[in-house]
Structure 1
Amino acid sequence: MEFSTSFLLRQEWRDPRLTYDDFNSSIVISEKRLNSLWVPDLYFPNSKRESRHEITIPNVLIRLSPDGTILYSQRLSMTLECTMDLINFPMDKQTCNIDMESYSYTSSDLYYEFTTERSAVESRPGVQIPDFQITDITVGKCQNKYVTGSYTCLRTDVSIKREIGFYATQTYIPSILIVVLSWASFWIDHEAVPARISVGLLTVLTITTQSSGARAQLPRVPNVKAIDVWMLACLAFVFAAYTEYAVVTVLTRRHKKVLKQDDSIYKISKGPSQNEAKNAQGKQEVRSSDYAKDAGILVDNISKYGFPISFIIFNIVYWVYYLHLA
Structure 2
Amino acid sequence: MELSPAPFFEDVAGGPAGGQAHWLMTSDQKRIRVGHWRPVGRAHGTVMVFPGRTEYIEKYGNTAQEFVNRGFAVLAVDWRGQGLADRLLENPRIGHVDHFTDYQHDVQATLDLADALDLPKPWYVVGHSMGGAIGLRAVIEKGCFAACAFTGPMWGIFFTPVMKPLSRVTAYWGTALGLGERTPPTTTLESYVLSQPFDGNMLTRDPDMYRMMQNQLNAHPELALGAPSNRWLRESLDECEWLMEQPAPKTPCLTFLGSHEQIVDRKAIRARMANWPNGTLIEIPNGEHEVLMEAPDVRGPVLDQLARHFRANQSNGASKLVST
Shorter chain as denominator, the TM-score bin is under 0.3
Larger strand proportion of the pair: 1
Larger helix proportion of the pair: 1
| Greater RCO (CA < 8 Å, at least 6 residues apart) | 2
Task: From the CA coordinates, give the structure whose radius of gyration is larger.
Answer: 1
TM-score (norm 1): 0.21
